[in-house]
Amino acid sequence: MEWQKYNGELLKLPILSAVEDTIIREQNLGNKLKVFIGTDSQVKRGIVEFATVIVFLREHRGGFMFIHKNRKTHNMSIKERMLLEVQQSIETAYELCPLLDKYSVDLEVHADINTNPNFQSNTALKEAMGYILGMGFIFKAKPESFASTNCANKLVQ
């Protein structure tokens, strides 16, 4: 899986090593970190483009993120696409969990799913919430899911 910085620079290390180096560097600088993981997708001419982000937020000092993009050519329903977004976020969170626990870094998983039933993405809300909470993660949906709704969204537009 290829990850990059927001400026497009590819990470030279595997994601676990890059995240660990980042945590150590930020903690050595005296920064308290919190990590947010989210995925968004966009359908363009039958291709679904996904972007998963790992957002590092420094308390009172801004943040930055690592990005992974991938595509699927599968025709899918909105519910299936929303649940695939959640699955990609959970896979990333699950991989990073032992590392975040080791360094006492809090984690939230964000889903680009609307809590308002008038929106199509709401059809996946119950399943997504159950999936994320069932895996033991803190779950946020719109309007609180900035990692997926704002950060990842900018990468698939």
User: What mean pLDDT is reported for the chain?
Assistant: 95
End-to-end CA distance of the chain, in Å? 21
14-23, 57-66, 111-120: which has the minimum mean pLDDT? 111-120
**pLDDT value at 157 more than 80:** no
pLDDT confidence bin for 35, thresholds 50/70/90: very high
Looking at 3.10.590, 3.30.420, 3.30.70, 2.60.120, the CATH number of the domain 4-156 comes to 3.30.420
**Domain spans, the chain:** 4-156
Distance of CA 101 to the CA centre of its chain: 17
Would you state the pLDDT for residue 145?
96
pLDDT confidence bin for 46, thresholds 50/70/90: confident
Classify residue 55 as left (phi > 0), alpha (psi -120 to 50) or beta. beta
Percentage of the chain with pLDDT > 90?
A: 90
